[in-house]
């Protein structure tokens, strides 16, 4: 039997339409729109059911666990239930929270982007390659946060505020 997974993924891609961003974030000077995980799952789930596809996490690694942040790499398996053919989709997720939600934020972000990338869900985002990269050297978000914590002598509020200002300026 010919594996069906690729045809079924194509069918889901074909049937999911553009999803406009449905949420707003406003924190200090930072303001942006986003596409919620709920909206993505609502639309993708219907099409996956029609195609008899299932998805589940099969591996997860914590790449960084530093105070209020957590970075993960997670692998999801998408399976065509009729013939058992499957693909693995590996994505990164990051969560930043001073309470107990950093893990859940990382998992939600990873799941959301696994679905967006696998099924090529268009949201109207600008191509990042069209945006100038700033001043030459790029720094990982994790390293930038660490550097800002040092700069502000461990003051999380000031470090986070400056981090968000930097990210906002980069997004312009």
Q: pLDDT digits over 42-100, tens only?
A: 999 999 999 999 999 999 988 767 778 888 999 999 999 999 999 999 999 998 888 88
d(CA 107, CA 111): 6
CB 11 within 8 A of CB 120: no
Give the count of beta carbons closer than 10 Å to the beta carbon of residue 164.
15
d(CA 14, CA 26): 34
Q: Does pTM top 0.75 for this prediction?
A: no
Q: pLDDT digits over 94-138, tens only?
A: 988 888 888 889 999 999 999 999 999 988 766 565 555 554 445
What domains lie within the chain, and their CATH numbers? 5-126 (3.30.390.80), 137-172 (no CATH)
Q: pLDDT digits over 147-159, tens only?
A: 777 776 777 777 7
d(CA 97, CA 76): 24
């Amino acid at each position: 039997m010919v594996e069906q997974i690729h045809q079924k993924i194509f069918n889901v891609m074909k049937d999911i339409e553009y999803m406009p961003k449905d949420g707003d974030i406003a924190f200090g000077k930072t303001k942006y729109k986003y596409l919620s995980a709920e909206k993505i799952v609502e639309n993708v789930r219907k099409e996956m059911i029609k195609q008899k596809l299932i998805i589940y996490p099969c591996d997860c690694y914590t790449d960084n666990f530093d105070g209020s942040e957590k970075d993960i790499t997670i692998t999801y398996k998408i399976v065509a239930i009729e013939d058992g053919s499957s693909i693995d989709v590996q994505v990164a997720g990051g969560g930043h929270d001073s309470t107990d939600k950093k893990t859940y934020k990382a998992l939600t972000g990873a799941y959301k982007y696994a679905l967006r990338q696998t099924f090529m869900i268009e949201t109207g985002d600008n191509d990042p390659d069209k945006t100038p990269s700033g001043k030459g050297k790029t720094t990982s978000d994790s390293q930038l946060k660490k550097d800002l914590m040092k700069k502000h002598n461990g003051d999380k509020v000031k470090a986070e505020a400056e981090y968000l200002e930097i990210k906002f300026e980069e997004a312009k």
